[in-house]
Structure 1
């Protein structure tokens, strides 16, 4: 298990997750109306990134583009989970708003539990 960072470039994302049994991506998202600090958990289901709500990626080419390209190239991870955190401001150099900063630790704990559950279920197979 390893934690890696990526700038969101679809080719780099695909290279990082293609051999993974589980890939978890954390990304900034913007929705209308805004609720900074709220997060959305998205699952890759049948090769399509499905979600509820209207959050979108902060990148020009979004995560959905990377997922679609990976699907076409048969390079998706075994399971892909995306946590999209709604931001307050997308300006460069701003840092985290208070609502976004407040969700970092609870979300980290949630992701750690999800990984532990995945590892536990994989070892019992």
Structure 2
């Protein structure tokens, strides 16, 4: 029963992190563009794409769990490494929190869902 609640709490917090980030990208566009430019990215084309990704990622966790987990994992990993690469490790903190929530959600998903993921058992072994 603890795993059931752990799955839903970690998944809800991960989704809230992503949706809050999408909201910030949509409402504080100039600040986000400046921050992405500091990381070395051309922000004009990236911001609208990231808003869509940050909304669709959490939405896809339930129907496309393994694919969504992989996409979110790589996004969080690359986001954290981008901040560390420009020597701003504090900026990597949300990505680290997201990775912890992602791991908790992934590892407990079989306890809360009807269709179990075969990859969870492989990760445990």
With normalisation by structure 1, the TM-score equals 0.32
Larger radius of gyration: 2
Name whichever structure is richer in helix by fraction. Answer: 2
With normalisation by structure 2, the TM-score equals 0.32
